[in-house]
Structure 1
């Protein structure tokens, strides 16, 4: 998914937040590129690649422009990957950015946010643009240079907070029109 007319990101359905006094929301982060790192603490790829990469993004980009959010989305070994175990894990691995615990589904193993984002597993990295639209999703590993370039490209896109819903302004059931004033402003 790499289009400015991508769908709005579904709201996160989180049962508990760590590393923040105010739970972040998509609305509160509007205007920033969001890097959503979905992981499980017992997932080898998450521990060896996904979370270290999220830490590098968190350290390498301005927090005024890029928000890194962790999502602990447990679909296996639920009995050992509890919020209490996650709290110790976040402390031991020195994860400073906000991390939410994905809400378990009433039935089935796939948590609610993981399902809403159609994730294939963990680690999954989702890029959400400044308008709140899902722009790209990577299951498994993505290289640092590629990720940095993609974040940079999203930061270069025009951003103007019009107070309305930028994802639907100028759009009808027939399609989306380009604002002719865009090149003159």
Structure 2
């Protein structure tokens, strides 16, 4: 089942906590929880998502806000790995497109490392190896969970979407369980859960309103 706004937030599916003490949604009752979902090979995550999450951590951690980082992989499976996440956490070193873009923007130290440390707990999403077999039912289920009004689309648009989703599913080496359960569209993504463990907000990309969402739940 896919997580829904206004319903109980499912626990994160985690393969390993690489920084901080292990925790999860059900252990964080009485806290507002921000889960910042990123990929290590994702420049936008380091330009927008993670800096915003760090700022929220600094502003609101004393007020009962818990920030958790979750690295995932829905593409570039050779780069978005547990090993590269551990490298990031232990040394501050970034890789791939993240390295290229941040270096281009002058946002790295001369040795190619981040000039800051991510201050909150970080985990790796649970990745399950796919067998490559994609059925029509899998394609339609994937679409309907993310686009409830899919059947209102015109025939041409519906067929094009089915084709693209099938190609995407067939290309996936792994299924990232938390990413899929929260029906995320990409990275960076932000998940906000209230003090009662209810999912209140999910966003994708640069989000100017995240600060206001957090304040409204405190």
For the aligned pair, the TM-score class normalised by the smaller chain equals 0.7 to 0.9
Q: Which residue of 2 aligns with 1:16?
A: 16
Question: Pairwise mapping of residues 15-94 of structure 1 onto structure 2 (< 5 A)?
Answer: 15-20=15-20, 22-63=21-62, 65-90=64-89, 91-92=91-92, 93=114, 94=117
Instruction: Report the equivalent of 2:183.
Output: 118
**Contact preservation (8 Å) 2:41, 2:79:** no
C-alpha separation in 2, matches of 1:26 and 1:129: 10
**Residues 24-67 of structure 1, C-alpha deviation per residue, up to 9 Å, x if partnerless?**
11121111000110000111210100011111111111345000
Q: Using the alignment, how far apart are the partners of 1:102 and 1:125 within structure 2? A: 14
Instruction: Give distance in 2, aligned partners of 1:126 and 1:98.
Output: 15
Aligned-partner Cα distance in 2 for 1:83–1:63: 30
- C-alpha distance after superposition, 1:84-142 (max 9, x if no partner): 21122134141121111000123244300111111111111011111111101111111
Query: 2: distance between equivalents of 1:52 and 1:65?
Result: 19
Tell me which moved more, 11-20 or 86-95.
Answer: 86-95
Secondary structure in structure 1 of the residue aligned to 2:120: coil
**Distance across 1 between alignment mates of 2:52 and 2:59:** 10
CA RMSD of aligned residues (A): 1.5
Q: Show structure 2 runs of 5+ residues with no match.
A: 93-113, 131-171
- What's 1:6 paired with? 6
Deviation (angstroms), 1:70: 0.6
Aligned length: 148
CA contact (8 A) 2:129 2:175 kept: no
- Distance in structure 2 (CA, Å) of the matches to 1:147 and 1:77: 27
2:210 maps to 147
In structure 2, C-alpha distance between the alignment counterparts of 1:33 and 1:119, rounded to whole Å: 20
Equivalent residue for 1:167?
Answer: none
Query: Which structure 1 residue ranges, 5 or more long, are not aligned?
Result: 156-185
Q: TM-score, structure 2 length as denominator? A: 0.64
**What is the deviation of 1:82?**
2.1
Runs of 4+ in 1 over 4 A off after TM superposition: none
Distance apart, 1:6 and its partner CA:
0.6
Give the match's secondary structure for 1:62. helix
